[in-house]
Structure 1
């Protein structure tokens, strides 16, 4: 890694709220079904103390975005959410255009509190709808119904937020093209500024992994994606990432920073972070203690692990993120954010270009439609170079 090449990228903050009402069978996130009351005040105290220990990572940068994920962050009391966000803003200089996203489930109790969360400082809500169809919601273990999902979106739309997102899954058990498009059509009719439309995958350490449901075969998956993508484009959405579609100007800035290999501080149970250290010429990864009991134990550190990315892995990690985006990738950004010269990836890049997976200009690399369709093959080319 060349110290003269490495530069500080933009900075975001990820905050993890680990509790949810019940664990969904497909979920592999660090979430814990509620067994007792949430320790609202104690957890916010811990988050702010966790952040204090991360302030050296800021390195005179402004915070560009905050993403509050989970679990179900909207289970946190709005007053404590306000205390949390006010505390962050006291500790870190924030951009005037700060995007503050909170994930929420569309149950009526939570949706009714959207206005309170807006007053607390949230200006973007991501609603975990997944499906509007009752049989699919049951299979997915969701606690809301289709009407509650619609009502949550209507309420979010009424608040004049900076933006809001609907999370929707496709390729669900027993789902054909018609079913998937019906869900998508209902989401489009609600006209959210942003739509995350992603394929159900069976992950390790989930209920679905131990008892796998029957999901559509590859041919049906391809038909669902092609038809759905076209429906979204016809409705005025722009695909800017594999699973993310937005009306022009409404891309999620926080996720863009992830995919552009930006930096992010991670606080809360199991939160991950990525921090560039120009002085030490290293890129660090961090992870926090996963279980709430351990995280709230005053005798323990919040940080579970901290390690630097090996130089031979940096290029792969960069492209695993950057190639998810449809936008062209500035070639000079690769060196600035990895500390590597282009020569380090000349062989795999030329191979990808020869296969028609990437196009190259003097200033940019661009993933081709073929490269988007065969992204795993494209990433394998860079993996083989490691």
Structure 2
């Protein structure tokens, strides 16, 4: 990026420092349009480059998924694509449908502007479709566009996205077809979505135009405080759905004791490890992972897949939890009956949780981690 000379020396120094201290590895991916910028390039990266980035991610991930499942594109009944910052006309869902020549009548949904937590929103939408239609397969695609999100200004709070966000994407199929039961890996058990209101939450992560007309994503100073509030509300709603009776009793007894003694100390934090074996936490950065690890009293081994995903791939926005999930399968394996907690934060401000249960043992070797080429 330094080759383009589009940033001041101060901005370049700041971005270099952030990248060096962020925990990012040396093998994260920028799209070609960004990686090859030179000082002769126009100020803005091109629309053509942004489209090429998104098409490359969507088409390759969907093709690999359908091939692995031995499904023809015509067997897909609905397509949900989420991408916050790049939303061309026709929509990205229409783009996928057209490229794979899917059948007429396939349902198309594109979710925009919903940030890093959008993938679980897509899962919930797919779940609602499956509850209302029989014998249906829903394709979910999650990605973010780095080319169109690049910020050329000098505000440090907006330069952060240049440093932390990277190219990535994921795809999955949800189905209620009986014939798919033998190949199904997980069942979806619970989804809890928390959306905070108020200016502090709304402005925590927001598209912004600086004084010089440069547009980017601004990350507010209060973002971790807001994320902590959202997480507390989310796990409070989720806990009764998944915790064993023993933990529920301890939590109630703690509440009674606090009321009797009028204690203002910290409340008893339930041990979620008694209910969940695996944690796919949004690897948005070291601070995000640290907050969740502390709040849930996780052990280092529980947080490892999320730290590894951030180091290897960076913040890939809504697809990031799927990278952490694939690390769990590749290196640790998942036993039949295990529960996995998919947890993500996003602009708005949102904290979303999805609980999945493994239907079979799973130690798939995902090429994102094994280094084998994808299709």
Q: Same fold (TM over 0.5)?
A: no
Larger fraction in helix = 2
TM-score, normalising length: structure 2? 0.27
TM-score, normalising length: structure 1? 0.27
Which of 1 and 2 has higher RCO (CA within 8 Å, sep 6+)?
Answer: 2
Larger fraction in strand = 1
